[in-house]
Amino acid sequence: MISSWASGLARHRTGRLLAAMAGIALAVALVAALGSFLTASKATMTQRAVRSVAVDWQVEVQPGADQNAALSLVRKTPGVRAAVPVGFAHTSGFTATTQGSTQTTGPGIVLGLPDNYRTLFPGEVRSLTGHPTGVLLAQQTASNLHAAPGSTVGIKLPGTTGVRQVRVDGVVDLPQADSLFQKVGAPTQSQPVAPPDNVLLLPAARFTSLTRGATSVTTQIHVARDAALPHDPAAAFTSVTGAAHHLEARGAGSVLVGDNLGAALDSARQDALYAQILFLFLGVPGAVLAASLTAAVAGAGGERRRQEQALLRLRGLAPRRIMSLAGLEAALVGVVGGLFGLGITALTGRLAFGAVSFGAGAGTWILWYAVAFTIGAAVAAAAVLVPAVRDLRTVTVADTGRSARRTGSPWWMRIGLDFMLLIGSWLVFRASSGNQYALVLAPEGVPSISVSYWAFLGPALLWIGAALLLWRLTLLALAHGRPVLARLARPLTSTLAGTTAAVLARRRRTLARSMVLLALAVSFAVSTSVFNSTYQQQAEVDARLTNGADVTVTEPPGAQTPPSAAGALKIPGVRHVEPLQHRFAYVGSDLQDLYGVRPDTIASATSLQDAYFAGGTTRQLMQRLAQRPDNLLVSAETVKDFQLSPGDNLNLRIQDAKTKTLRTVPFHYAGIVKEFPTAPKDSFFVANASYVAQATGSDAVGAFLVDTGGTHQKTVAAQLRKQLGAAATVTDLTQTRGTVGTSLTSVDLAGLTRIELAFAVLLAAGAGGLVLALGLAERRRTFAITTVLGATRRHLRGMVLTEAVLLTFGGLAGGALIGWALSEMLVKVLTGVFDPPPASLAVPGGYLALTAAAAVAAVLAAALNGVRRARRPAVEELRDL
């Protein structure tokens, strides 16, 4: 019996089975792919955090403690691969005499490095010129002293007499100076704003002899770890910080640990949680949609299934056997669809990421495959078996002989559930996007992090509420708009326009369900693609804000480089060079950065968005600076602190270039600046460069913004580094993009995009075509009777195409509106992902056009197939039915 039933399903219900299997396959593939990708992404975040750290721990030996005992204690700590002592000596200044001129710097630091230090910690020191070993001078210090390899530098050490001389062997850069010169044991927020300007590196033996008798000499033990860490950044953070605290406890106050690795993982664990949130926000709706598609496919054959059950009951088959046959169909759909979905997942992983595991560990990706397969089986049971069991218990054989028509409104329409959900979504959105709201809360240094998961409620309620509202509007339009439907159908159906409108009104529930399903698939594609495009856009904006332009040449502090030096930077590949002043100014007792710009040309080298300013657009505010040179753009924080109103006088104290004293310079508050290229994220000023130069007696430039047209940044930067040597710091956009990008960026959000958007296209095509095709297949009897009554093939084609056009237009329009609303809400709720927040959403027109084309093609193919099948002679069709 079971084998016969299975073969009968395969022969006579092939389309319905394949369609249901396709829905299960999409749900399984999406869950397995996203789950495996998420797990692999977390591991990638941990690996990136580990690679970004040059020195894992900086263990500072406390005053009075035995250095050798501390070193032995550290080396015996589990997970420590290498540990070497590094000396730190504070100096009162350096001196150098070059070309008859003596240069003197302010306080600095001398480091004593063991011989194998650069081998153990290759990312800490980068050679620029001269020998890579010996006496090494930091790039900025070399610029301050006008020194180069071969120069003699004098060191003033507190506690000693005279100046001790060393000969410079090379000039180096310290990429991780912020962490290298941290105040060990102090909270991150209390660390110095910037590392010291003046640094000299000595071999350990030379350092010991040179600093003999000096005060303010300390020792740190720099540690490289090789302990295996969990893949999850949060778990890795807990492991590393726990080990650091354990070392401090064993040291009994003799050592303090500067946990650089823990600090990197601290940031990564927050990004990992955001990646998990993106998985829920962007992936779960797709899986739900695939399950809904399966349910809709199964529901399309509900009437036929009830008739088959009635026939089996009339022939005396026991209810238990009927349930087993329904279970067989559910098992076929679940198992075959699930296996097919896992195959799609493996193929996707292999093509997009080079491995079926998406880069995840063996245990985790197999677990996700198993979870996805189980979900697919559950969806199949809910879509196929549960309705069959319900019909078996509630529908009698006599009921199947009557055409039951529901005339009343659904219960959710009567109570206004759609309106309640939309109002609830708006309320949750208002609360979750208010001031000081944080979706992810990761307190500094605290192992546990929390997520305000209730913020998920806003988009979820919007998605469901908007779908129900579209359902309501479709039902109302089809029920009360028959005259309009008839006029719309007349070009395709001619004299059967009224009949077509009547059929559409009678089938309004089925048509509304299909339209809502298509709209949800389209909204999923729209919201996912717009979010990902906006993220990529803002990641680029963040990198450009940090670097300033395609390539930026930053002059060392104190350099008196005139704007005319821009001409030397116009090498091949450079379109424009823009000088940018960088000074410091006091407002009251608060010291802030001051940037002097040329208002007419600043936008030629860098991108300025209206979102960076308040009180006017970019063009308007730049015009204000040009028209009145003493105008000043002020940060919002300063406006609030000093209660400023537009036009107020604001006196800043700026250093005079000649006397080196502070002089008061009057300005007028003209607008608010929130972000500006190369500027810090807190408080700063933007002024007219000519006015600043006139007021201070110097037109010295702090940086040159080099525009390369968005191409060849690396090549231009390399040529400028070779040309300028150690005289200036050259950074390019590609380098900065990797530096400022969070570990969430390292997940390669494009990978998540490829997975989700590919499935979104498939879901849109399935929602548009599968349900319509199965619905048309179930109406073969209706078409046959219509043919017998005199309808021509042109009439039948017109009826089918009218329904297809109505479904396509309503689904695409509704989906576009829902997707736009969801995109706005997702970007607002997930503000923490964006830095800075976007001024407008990025719309991927090409992808959305592809999605619409796929949906239209699927609907059209289903309609044409229905028309083709309707051409079969009516007598033969009725005989088979």
Classify residue 290: in a domain, yes or no.
Answer: yes
pLDDT over 90 (residue 204): yes
Mean pLDDT of 8-30: 76
pLDDT over 80 (residue 586): yes
Q: How confident is the model at residue 465 (pLDDT cuts 50, 70, 90)?
A: very high
pLDDT over 80 (residue 867): no
Mean pLDDT of 136-145: 85
Pairwise CA distance, residues 773 & 771, whole Å = 5
For residue range 307-318, what is the model confidence (pLDDT) as tens digits? 666 666 666 677
pLDDT at 396: 61
Mapped onto helix, strand or coil, the DSSP state of residue 843 is coil
pLDDT at 192: 47
Classify residue 726: in a domain, yes or no.
Answer: no
In this prediction the pTM is 0.73
pLDDT at 64: 87
C-beta of residue 180 within 8 angstroms of C-beta of residue 119? no
Residues 56 and 23 in one domain: yes
Q: Which of 175, 208, 226 is the last residue of a domain?
A: 226
Could you give the angle at which helices 319-353 and 362-380 cross, rounded to 10 degrees?
140
Which residues, including other chains, have CB under 8 Å from residue 578's CB and lie 6 or more apart?
549, 566, 598, 601, 602, 604, 605, 606, 704, 705, 706, 707
Classify residue 524: in a domain, yes or no.
Answer: yes
Residues 487 and 354 in one domain: no
pLDDT over 70 (residue 740): no
Q: Which of 692, 707, 722 is the last residue of a domain?
A: 707
pLDDT at 874: 47
Q: How confident is the model at residue 787 (pLDDT cuts 50, 70, 90)?
A: low
Q: Which of 226, 255, 278 is the last residue of a domain?
A: 226
Classify residue 612: in a domain, yes or no.
Answer: yes
Q: Are strands 136-138 and 170-173 parallel, antiparallel or unpaired?
A: parallel
What are the CB-based long-range contacts (under 8 Å, 24+) for 71-77?
71/221, 73/247, 73/250, 73/251, 73/254, 73/255, 74/221, 74/223, 74/247, 74/255, 77/243, 77/246, 77/247, 77/250
For residue range 814-830, what is the model confidence (pLDDT) as tens digits? 999 999 998 888 888 77
Distance set, CA 139 to CA 100, 129, 172, 729, 730 (Å): 21, 9, 6, 8, 12
DSSP string, 497-553: HHHHHHHHHHTHHHHHHHHHHHHHHHHHHHHHHHHHHHHHHHHHHHHHHHH-SSEEE
- Token digits of residue 796: 């039948």
Pairwise CA distance, residues 175 & 173, whole Å = 6
pLDDT over 70 (residue 623): yes
Q: How confident is the model at residue 90 (pLDDT cuts 50, 70, 90)?
A: very high
Rounded-to-5 percentages of helix, strand, coil across the chain: 60, 15, 25
Mapped onto helix, strand or coil, the DSSP state of residue 241 is helix
Residues 570 and 495 in one domain: no
Greatest Cα pair distance, the chain, in angstroms, is 116
pLDDT at 739: 59
- Token digits of residue 467: 């779908």
Distance set, CA 351 to CA 358, 741, 850 (Å): 10, 26, 20
Residues 585 and 509 in one domain: no
Q: Which residues pair with 255 in a beta bridge?
A: 61
Exposure string over 393-419, b if 16+ CB within 10 A, otherwise e: eeeeeeebeeeeeeeeeeeebeeebbe
Mapped onto helix, strand or coil, the DSSP state of residue 657 is coil
Pairwise CA distance, residues 763 & 291, whole Å = 10
Residue 735 burial class via C-beta count within 10 angstroms: exposed 0-12, middle 13-18, buried 19 and up: middle
What is the residue type of 274?
Y
Q: How confident is the model at residue 430 (pLDDT cuts 50, 70, 90)?
A: confident
* Closest by Cα among 181, 127, 177 to 149: 127
pLDDT at 194: 65
* Closest by Cα among 573, 616, 575, 618 to 600: 618
Using the 8-state DSSP alphabet, how is residue 495 labeled? G
Residues 234 and 383 in one domain: yes
3-state per-residue secondary structure call for 124-137: CCEEEEECCCCCEE
Distance set, CA 63 to CA 67, 253, 259, 605, 764 (Å): 10, 10, 20, 51, 68
Residues 637 and 537 in one domain: no
pLDDT over 50 (residue 511): yes
Query: For residues 663 and 143, which has the higher predicted lDDT (pLDDT)?
Result: 663
Residues 117 and 59 in one domain: no
pLDDT at 40: 78
Pairwise CA distance, residues 539 & 546, whole Å = 11
Mean pLDDT of 854-881: 67
pLDDT at 633: 94
Residues 242 and 385 in one domain: yes
* Closest by Cα among 267, 34, 179, 265 to 832: 267
Classify residue 818: in a domain, yes or no.
Answer: yes
Mean pLDDT of 252-277: 84
Q: How confident is the model at residue 790 (pLDDT cuts 50, 70, 90)?
A: low
Residues 613 and 700 in one domain: yes
Mean pLDDT of 316-341: 80
Classify residue 577: in a domain, yes or no.
Answer: yes
For residue range 589-616, what is the model confidence (pLDDT) as tens digits? 777 889 999 999 998 888 888 888 888 8
Specify which of 257-266, 319-328, 432-441, 676-685 reaches the highest per-range mean pLDDT. Answer: 257-266
Residues 89 and 234 in one domain: no
Residues 335 and 390 in one domain: yes
For residue range 161-193, what is the model confidence (pLDDT) as tens digits? 888 999 999 988 888 888 898 888 766 544 445
Specify which of 185-199, 353-367, 439-453, 553-567 reaches the highest per-range mean pLDDT. Answer: 553-567
pLDDT at 445: 47
pLDDT over 90 (residue 813): yes
pLDDT over 50 (residue 746): no
What is the residue type of 28?
V
Using the 8-state DSSP alphabet, how is residue 699 labeled? -
Q: How confident is the model at residue 302 (pLDDT cuts 50, 70, 90)?
A: low
Residue with the two structure tokens 């299934």: 305
Classify residue 430: in a domain, yes or no.
Answer: no
pLDDT at 153: 93
Among 2-16, 47-61, 474-488, 846-860, the range scoring the smallest mean pLDDT is 2-16
Q: How confident is the model at residue 879 (pLDDT cuts 50, 70, 90)?
A: very low
Exposure string over 90-121, b if 16+ CB within 10 A, otherwise e: bbeebbbeeeeeebebeebbbbbbbeebbebb
Query: For residues 806 and 539, which has the higher predicted lDDT (pLDDT)?
Result: 806
Domain that holds residue 145: 83-187+220-226
pLDDT at 835: 63
pLDDT at 195: 79
Give all strands (DSSP E) within 555-694, no chain letters.
Answer: 576-587, 590-597, 613-614, 631-634, 649-655, 662-673, 684-688
Residue 599 burial class via C-beta count within 10 angstroms: exposed 0-12, middle 13-18, buried 19 and up: buried
pLDDT over 80 (residue 626): yes
Exposure string over 260-294, b if 16+ CB within 10 A, otherwise e: bbbbbbbbbbbbbbbbbbbbbbbbebbbbbbbbbb
Residues 817 and 701 in one domain: no
Pairwise CA distance, residues 174 & 729, whole Å = 12
CA angle 514, 518, 523 (to 5 degrees): 145
- Token digits of residue 847: 């992808």
pLDDT over 60 (residue 554): yes
Could you give the angle at which helices 508-547 and 749-778 cross, rounded to 10 degrees?
170
The answer to whether the bond into 836 is cis (omega within 30° of 0) is: yes
Query: What total of structural domains would you count in the chain?
Result: 4
Classify residue 733: in a domain, yes or no.
Answer: no
pLDDT at 242: 92
For residue range 42-83, what is the model confidence (pLDDT) as tens digits? 777 888 888 889 999 999 999 889 999 999 999 999 999 999
- Calculate the average pLDDT of the chain: 82
Among 302-316, 642-656, 776-790, the range scoring the smallest mean pLDDT is 776-790
Q: How confident is the model at residue 471 (pLDDT cuts 50, 70, 90)?
A: very high
Q: Which residues pair with 200 in a beta bridge?
A: 110, 137
Q: Are strands 576-587 and 649-655 parallel, antiparallel or unpaired?
A: antiparallel
What is the residue type of 664?
T
Q: How confident is the model at residue 16 (pLDDT cuts 50, 70, 90)?
A: confident
Query: For residues 51 and 682, which has the higher predicted lDDT (pLDDT)?
Result: 51
Percent residues over pLDDT 90 in the chain: 25
